[in-house]
Amino acid sequence: MSLFETIIRDGPGRTGKYRSGDMEVATPAVINPQEIFSDLYQHPFAHTPPEFPDKIHWPKPVQYKGILNAFVGEVPDGTEESAVIVPGCHTLFENPRRFTEMLIDLRERFPMDTAWYAPASALPSNVSLLIYCGFDLFDYRAVDLKTVQGKFCTADGEFSYDEVRDSGMCSCAGCIQGDLQLHNRTALDTEIASASWFIRSRVFREFIEKRVRNAAWQVAVMRILDATPAYSEPVVPIVRATPFSANSADSLKRIEVTRFVDRVIERFIPSRTDTVVLLPCSARKPYSLSQSHRKFTFAIQNRAHELILTSPMGIVPRELEAIYPAGHYDIPVTGYWDREEREFISASLARYFEKHQFGRVIAHLDEKTRLLAEDAARRAGIEIESTCADGRPTSPESLRNLDESLRGNRKSSPDIIRGTLSWQFDLDVDTKRLMLKGRRGRQKVMSGHTQLFSLDETTGLMRPTMDGWNILGDRYHVYIDDFIPQGDVLAPGVIDADPAIREGDEVFVSGPRAQGAGKAFMGAKEMLHSTRGVAVKLRKVKKG
């Protein structure tokens, strides 16, 4: 019998613990397969590659000691094994689309708390991507083969050992001793350790965007997975406590970006639709803390809905500027947006215009950004006004134009409570009797003397109290079995969950004997398809 438990997840990549008998391995890791899966090599077709099984017509093995074969037969009913071997997956590396199809098939067929073993596949130059794809267990067979071939393995590729022997590229024990095999194995171990560290630091995606540049097939796999939200979106956290670094064009396709924009367009309810002012972004986050946006705010004086145009986020309403990742991203500032960035911003803005029929659209933007707004307006079939006189939105003349253009508009402060709750819970909450009180860092939403929410300054999201959940209906509920939680809710105790729940979401826990409020540590799919691990961290539990 084997067991696997995810400890930290950062998208599809994860750290965990794999137990087989008396042995326990912290994953991702290199294993000795003959020690962990002792009878694996006694079976025929144990390493049948993915394209081969359909051609085998005689009886095929399904289950080995402690491990299942991904490509032969279905998962046996009642199986207790928590590891799957994916033999020959390296034969698909040069066919990225087929490789990702295999990953998607595995994700659908096997439970979420199943360890994936990729035999004879891992090199220092590809193991990080394999971890990003969801693999947990590896061996030394691929690097040992490179040793036999006289190849010097690094995270950047494989090179002729004769050419690099005296280059000083590495000072590991293997290089000091002149032992190529030891160097190659050490390089693999080091790369796995690096990937694990970036997962624990919650910046694994930034690390992967650098590493996949080793090979075209790796870039292709990452981009195909980005274009397949069903694979990675359910396991990508809704918020993080770490900054979001957008250092490449691939950042535009990150789940966090596309999900944020989709929610802005599909869920978010703006405070007003009579007039919208389009504004440029700023280096400082949230934008309202920057000097330029203080000037914009002074000129607008709550007389219009404010919408910031930016890369990679596309569009950010003022009400949502503190929500992750809008309030947490960093991007190289060059004053230039490439074609893909411009298309993403323009398309997102056009969708926003189509969703909300604004009476007036004012572009308070520099010339290049104004052209984006005009393109979006053409797509949506509307007209826009411009108030930037000299190409500098912060110039006195431009700010006077903005002030004059809003003369006669009624004043109405942005409804951060309604805007955040609509984005977060997909719900239109009547906020007429609600007030946001307190200083930055300790703000609370009150209804009279009753606290309904607190504002999490690290993520920009609302944390409902038990009274707050009363006005949110059945959104983001986790239903548990007949027990009273003593701290965390574990996955085996979850019997149902709102499909919209993602790791980091605020959730309400409900069962026959108890209710509670807390934060999801798994997405809904993982909660319902895992047999171990923390599903919800509870802050409050109420019996009955």
pLDDT in tens, the chain (544 residues): 678 999 999 999 999 999 988 889 999 999 998 888 887 777 666 666 776 655 554 445 456 777 887 776 555 555 567 889 998 899 999 999 999 999 998 888 888 889 999 999 999 999 999 999 999 999 999 999 999 999 999 999 999 999 988 888 899 999 999 999 999 999 999 999 999 999 999 999 999 999 999 899 999 999 999 999 888 899 999 988 778 888 888 888 899 999 999 999 999 999 999 999 999 999 888 999 999 999 999 999 999 999 999 988 999 999 999 999 998 888 877 777 888 889 999 999 999 999 999 999 999 999 999 999 999 999 999 999 999 988 899 999 999 999 999 999 999 999 999 999 999 999 999 999 999 998 877 899 999 999 999 999 889 999 999 999 999 989 999 999 999 998 899 999 999 999 999 999 999 999 999 999 999 999 999 999 888 889 999 999 988 6
Q: How far apart are CA 28 and CA 13, in angstroms?
A: 9
pLDDT at site 126 = 97
Residues 56 and 187 in one domain: yes
3-state secondary structure at position 448: coil
Residues 266 and 212 in one domain: no
Q: How far is CA 346 from the centre of its chain?
A: 23
> How crowded is the C-beta side of 179, counted as CA atoms within 13 Å?
11
Helices (H), 301-357: 339-355
Measured CA to CA in angstroms, residue 179 lies from 118, 163, 185 at distances of 25, 15, 10
Residues 106 and 210 in one domain: yes
List the CATH number of the domain containing 492.
2.30.130.10
DSSP 40: G
Question: Do 305 and 317 form a contact (C-beta atoms < 8 A)?
Answer: yes
Residues 211 and 268 in one domain: no
Q: How far apart are CA 109 and CA 91, in angstroms?
A: 21
pLDDT at site 72 = 63
Q: How far apart are CA 375 and CA 392, in angstroms?
A: 20
| Domains contained in the chain, number | 3
Domain presence at residue 421: no
Q: For residue 70, what are the domain limits?
A: 2-230
pLDDT at site 399 = 96
3-state secondary structure at position 23: strand
Amino acid at 17: K
Residues 327 and 383 in one domain: yes
Give the residue from 230, 253, 287 where a domain finishes. 230
Residues 184 and 260 in one domain: no
Q: How far apart are CA 258 and CA 162, in angstroms?
A: 47
Residues 90 and 209 in one domain: yes
pLDDT at site 275 = 96
Q: How far apart are CA 295 and CA 28, in angstroms?
A: 50
Task: Name the residue among 202, 439, 424 with its Cα closest to residue 323.
Answer: 424
Helices (H), 277-338: 291-300
Residues 80 and 145 in one domain: yes
Domain presence at residue 238: no
Domain presence at residue 411: no
Residues 282 and 383 in one domain: yes
List the CATH number of the domain containing 164.
3.20.20.105
Three-state secondary structure along 164-195?
A: HCCCCCCCCHHHHHCCHHHHHHHHHHHHHHHH
Domain presence at residue 428: no
Residues 115 and 57 in one domain: yes
Give the residue from 405, 426, 460 where a domain finishes. 405
Residues 203 and 271 in one domain: no
List the CATH number of the domain containing 277.
3.40.50.10630
Domain presence at residue 235: no
Domain presence at residue 290: yes
Domain presence at residue 177: yes
Give the residue from 164, 198, 230 where a domain finishes. 230
Q: How far apart are CA 113 and CA 17, in angstroms?
A: 10
Residues 277 and 200 in one domain: no
Domain presence at residue 41: yes
